[in-house]
Amino acid sequence: MNANNFDRKFAFNHHRSSGRWQVYLFSVAIGLVFISIQLFATRYKPTSGSDTTLPASNRFSHSAIGSPYEQIFVVMRLPTYHKKKSPEAQQIEKTISPTERICFVHVGKSGGSTVGCALGFGLHCKNNTKMVDGLLPRRTTNMFHADCYDCYDESKYFLFVVRNPLERIKSAFLYERPYGVNWLKNNFPQYYQNRKSFYMDCPFRFMEDWVQIGLLGKTGSRGEEYRVSEKCEKIARHAVWGTGHYQEHLYFNYQFHLEGLPGNANVLTIRNEHLVDDWNQVEQYIGGERDIITPENAQTAFPVINKKNMTKDPSVRIDPYSSPKYLSEESVHTLCRHLCNEIVNYKKILRRSVNLNYLQIEESITELRESCGKYADYEEGDCHYEMPDIEGKLLTFRGYVDKVRVDAVDGHRQRLEGPLPRPKWPVEGTEDEQEEKDLVMDDDAPLPYSL
Smallest CA-to-CA distance from 355 within 267, 243, 443 is with 267
Residue with the larger pLDDT of the pair 250 and 182: 250
- pLDDT tens figures, 265-278: 999 999 999 999 99
The yes-or-no verdict on residue 345 having pLDDT over 70 is yes
Which pLDDT belongs to residue 400? Answer: 85
Identify the weakest region by mean pLDDT among 78-82, 182-186, 306-310, 316-320.
306-310
Q: Where is pLDDT greater, at 20 or 180?
A: 180
Task: Kindly indicate the confidence band of residue 227, based on its pLDDT and cuts at 50, 70 and 90.
Answer: confident
Over residues 111-126, mean pLDDT? 85
Distances (CA, A) of 311 to 179, 181, 316, 317, 324: 11, 18, 7, 9, 11
* DSSP H or E segment with residue 157: strand 157-162
Rounded to the nearest 5 percent, the helix, strand and coil shares of the chain are 50, 10, 40
Residue, of 389 and 126, whose pLDDT is higher: 389
- Give per-residue pLDDT as tens, 251-266: 999 999 999 999 999 9
Q: Is there a contact between 341 and 241 (Cβ–Cβ < 8 Å)?
A: yes
Region 107-129: what's the mean pLDDT? Answer: 84
- Per-residue pLDDT band for 86 (boundaries 50, 70, 90) equals confident
Instruction: Indicate the pLDDT class of residue 420, thresholds 50, 70 and 90.
Output: very low
